[in-house]
């Protein structure tokens, strides 16, 4: 295993401990921290649906906007007050989960190499979201809208291109014109559409992208929003009056914090701070060298064009192309190194990765240069042969999860893979036939795979729900899949102890050595 490959940093470990508290409260499958991106899509659609309902009953003129919303608050428009509150709270939830998603990905250094495109489109999405949210506060045309619009025009007037023109032409008169108000409405519709396009681009290099949270989490989130709307409805402030300067206003810090910062930094200072912040975020993928595993390599001599690597690659880095050699297969796999995450999931999917082959050097159809499957077989044979005592357990451990090597003892041997989904199910059978009483596969937490799909693919293969599958003849009671994050070593140890106790109740497994005779002769001749 290449020691230069990165492991989770301190920030990621600290955040993982926080997430563990939510695991205890919600369970790993429904932990909202593991579905921040999907929740963002979910709140976006709720915000859009409620916004459309409000728009139907909304007077799109500067003079009539406030009155129409006041009528909604009196429920003269069906469900008007509820829709207004739902629109506001879903928008707040959207920016909150988006910000948390950014912090989470930043802590895990998910911004460079094959993740660069997703990171940059995510930053653009955040900018558009903030712009759309601030613009949304102008449409009620109450005192908060007046203050926000005035503050924004003053901010933009600090730029030489405007030089005070916005303040003079927009908010210097007795009232905002209907024409300008129509422009605000157009922007409030156009910006979310732009954001939707950015969100679509954001997930294009992820296959499959999780854009829908689990049904239970979605239902719970909707119930939470509905309860909040009923308990604390949105209050419309007095209508805007450009001749009057409001003294105190309730501030939504999720969207309107730039106005408060401008009062402290001034317009020029806010521009400097904003430019520095987003420039730093955008520069991260280019200014930071994040080590990564070398891209997967195809060995045409062992590739039969089955397309399993193509089907399982989470980043669409593997494509099937016409055959370039003389072998009688129609297709072959081809890897795009710019998109490859170096996870090894493709190696785990390849049928030629089986360790039961008689080849002295195990060469598979698609392999990882940093951790060749042949070296992993040799490592497994070495560690299994050294086991003593009973029951004997082999741990196939994801390098991004708990450090299973710390659990090594005379009866336990850990073999590390780039991802739990890099483990071919045949390796599990191989370990059992080579002398292990049980095999424990330790992957990332459920729904929290470093490479997005590894946990689901591993579970599907071991449950015989996805090819390549664990053969039915393998005793499933001697195989255990355990989710264990980087900070879950104690939990993994406890799971190992329970597994050991279960194996003791089953009794020892008959020793059937797995090495083919021809390989045995070469190794021992």
Q: What is the pLDDT of residues 270-286, one digit of tens each?
A: 999 999 999 999 999 98
pLDDT at position 181 is 85
* pLDDT band, residue 453 (cuts 50/70/90): confident
pLDDT at position 3 is 43
Q: For residues 494 and 382, state if they share a domain.
A: yes
- Between CA 445 and CA 455 the distance in angstroms is 8
> Residue 230 is encoded by which pair of tokens?
């009923």
Q: Are 339 and 316 a contacting pair, CB within 8 Å? A: yes
Report whether the peptide linkage leading into residue 76 is cis, meaning its omega lies within 30 degrees of zero.
no
Last residue of a domain, one of 194, 220, 238: 238
Contacts of 276 (CB under 8 A, 6+ apart): none
Q: Judge whether residue 317 has pLDDT over 80.
A: yes
Query: What is the distance of C-alpha 91 from the center of its chain?
Result: 20
Arithmetic mean of pLDDT, 397-411: 91
Report the mean per-residue pLDDT for the chain.
88
Q: For residues 174 and 301, state if they share a domain.
A: no
Arithmetic mean of pLDDT, 328-357: 92
- Between CA 202 and CA 10 the distance in angstroms is 27
Residue 50 lies in a domain: yes
Q: Judge whether residue 524 has pLDDT over 50.
A: no
pLDDT at position 216 is 95
Please identify which residue in the block is written with the tokens 């895990």: 108
Report the greatest alpha carbon distance in the chain. 99
Q: What is the pLDDT of residues 107-127, one digit of tens each?
A: 888 888 888 899 999 999 999
- Residue 64's SS3 state is coil
pLDDT at position 172 is 61
| Among the listed residues 154, 128, 164, 171, the one whose alpha carbon sits nearest the alpha carbon of residue 271 | 154
Q: Judge whether residue 249 has pLDDT over 90.
A: no
* pLDDT band, residue 424 (cuts 50/70/90): very high
Domain of residue 218, CATH code: 1.20.810.10
- Between CA 141 and CA 146 the distance in angstroms is 6
Arithmetic mean of pLDDT, 429-440: 93
Last residue of a domain, one of 216, 238, 260: 238
Q: What is the pLDDT of residues 5-40, one digit of tens each?
A: 455 667 777 888 888 888 888 887 888 998 999 999
Domain total of the chain: 2
Q: For residues 94 and 233, state if they share a domain.
A: yes
* pLDDT band, residue 252 (cuts 50/70/90): confident
pLDDT at position 138 is 93
Which range marks the domain in which residue 484 is found?
297-524
Dump the DSSP string for 65-78: HHHHHHHHHTTSST
pTM reported for the whole predicted model: 0.84
- Between CA 523 and CA 102 the distance in angstroms is 52
Q: For residues 399 and 502, state if they share a domain.
A: yes
Q: What is the pLDDT of residues 501-522, one digit of tens each?
A: 999 998 777 655 555 545 544 4
Residue 368 lies in a domain: yes
Residue 275 lies in a domain: no
Percent of the chain with pLDDT over 70: 93
Dump the DSSP string for 325-378: SSSS-SEEEEE-TTT-----HHHHH-GGG-TTS--SS---SEE-TTS-HHHHHH
Please identify which residue in the block is written with the tokens 């593997």: 318
Residue 33 lies in a domain: yes
Residue 264 lies in a domain: no
Element (DSSP H or E) covering residue 438: strand 438-443
Q: For residues 327 and 178, state if they share a domain.
A: no
> Residue 85 is encoded by which pair of tokens?
């509150």
| Among the listed residues 12, 1, 19, the one whose alpha carbon sits nearest the alpha carbon of residue 483 | 19
pLDDT at position 174 is 58
Element (DSSP H or E) covering residue 414: strand 412-417
- Between CA 67 and CA 239 the distance in angstroms is 9
Contacts of 472 (CB under 8 A, 6+ apart): 464
Last residue of a domain, one of 238, 259, 286: 238
Q: For residues 380 and 303, state if they share a domain.
A: yes
Identify any residues that bridge with 439 across adjacent strands, giving them in sequence order: 394, 479
- Between CA 266 and CA 289 the distance in angstroms is 35
| Among the listed residues 150, 137, 139, the one whose alpha carbon sits nearest the alpha carbon of residue 66 | 139
Residue 40 lies in a domain: yes
Arithmetic mean of pLDDT, 79-95: 96
* pLDDT band, residue 4 (cuts 50/70/90): very low
pLDDT at position 176 is 74
pLDDT at position 248 is 78
Residue 272 lies in a domain: no
Residue 47 lies in a domain: yes
- Between CA 133 and CA 298 the distance in angstroms is 48
Arithmetic mean of pLDDT, 428-442: 94
Q: For residues 231 and 306, state if they share a domain.
A: no
Higher-scoring residue by pLDDT: 165, 343: 343
């Amino acid at each position: 295993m290449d020691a230069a490959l990165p492991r989770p940093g301190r920030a990621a470990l600290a955040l993982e401990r926080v997430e563990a508290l939510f695991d205890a409260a919600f369970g790993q499958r429904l932990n909202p921290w593991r579905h921040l991106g999907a929740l963002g899509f979910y709140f976006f659609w709720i915000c859009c649906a409620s916004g459309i309902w409000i728009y139907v009953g909304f007077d799109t003129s500067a003079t009539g906007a406030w009155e129409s919303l006041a009528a909604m608050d009196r429920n003269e428009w069906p469900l008007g007050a509820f829709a207004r509150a739902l629109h506001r709270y879903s928008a707040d939830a959207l920016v909150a989960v988006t910000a948390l998603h950014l912090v989470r990905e930043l802590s895990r250094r998910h911004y460079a190499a094959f993740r660069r495109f997703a990171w940059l489109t995510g930053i653009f999405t955040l900018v558009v979201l903030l712009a759309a949210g601030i613009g949304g506060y102008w449409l009620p045309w109450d005192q908060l809208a007046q203050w926000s619009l005035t503050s924004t025009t003053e901010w933009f007037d600090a730029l030489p291109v405007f030089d005070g023109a916005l303040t003079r032409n927009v908010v210097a008169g007795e009232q905002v014109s209907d024409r300008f108000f129509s422009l605000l409405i157009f922007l409030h519709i156009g910006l979310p559409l732009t954001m939707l396009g950015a969100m679509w681009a954001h997930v294009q290099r992820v296959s499959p992208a999780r854009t829908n949270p689990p049904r239970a989490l979605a239902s719970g989130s909707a119930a939470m929003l509905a309860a909040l709307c009923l308990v604390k409805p949105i209050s419309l402030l007095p209508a805007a009056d450009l001749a009057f300067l409001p003294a105190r206003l309730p501030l939504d810090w999720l969207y309107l914090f730039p106005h408060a910062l401008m009062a402290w930094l001034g317009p020029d200072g806010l521009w400097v701070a904003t430019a520095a912040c987003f420039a730093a975020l955008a520069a991260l993928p280019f200014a930071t060298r994040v080590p990564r595993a070398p891209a997967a390599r195809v060995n045409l001599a062992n590739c039969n064009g089955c397309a399993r690597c193509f089907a399982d690659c989470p980043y669409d880095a593997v494509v099937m192309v016409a055959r370039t050699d003389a072998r009688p297969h129609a297709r072959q796999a081809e890897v795009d190194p710019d998109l490859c995450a170096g996870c090894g999931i493709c190696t785990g999917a390849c049928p030629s990765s089986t360790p039961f082959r008689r080849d002295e050097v195990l060469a598979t159809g698609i392999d990882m240069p940093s951790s060749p499957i042949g070296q992993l077989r040799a490592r497994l044979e070495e560690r299994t042969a050294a086991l003593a005592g009973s029951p004997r357990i082999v741990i196939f451990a994801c390098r991004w999860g708990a450090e299973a090597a710390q659990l090594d003892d005379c009866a336990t041997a850990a073999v590390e893979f780039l991802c739990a989904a890099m483990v071919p199910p045949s390796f599990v059978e191989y370990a059992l036939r080579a002398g292990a009483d049980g095999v424990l596969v330790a992957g990332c937490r459920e729904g929290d795979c470093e490479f997005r799909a590894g946990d689901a693919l591993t579970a599907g293969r071991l449950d015989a729900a996805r090819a390549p599958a664990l053969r039915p003849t393998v005793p499933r009671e001697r195989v255990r899949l355990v989710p264990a994050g980087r900070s879950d070593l104690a939990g993994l140890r406890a799971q190992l102890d329970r597994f050991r106790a279960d194996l003791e109740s089953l009794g020892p497994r008959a020793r059937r050595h797995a090495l083919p005779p021809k390989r045995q002769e070469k190794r021992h001749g």
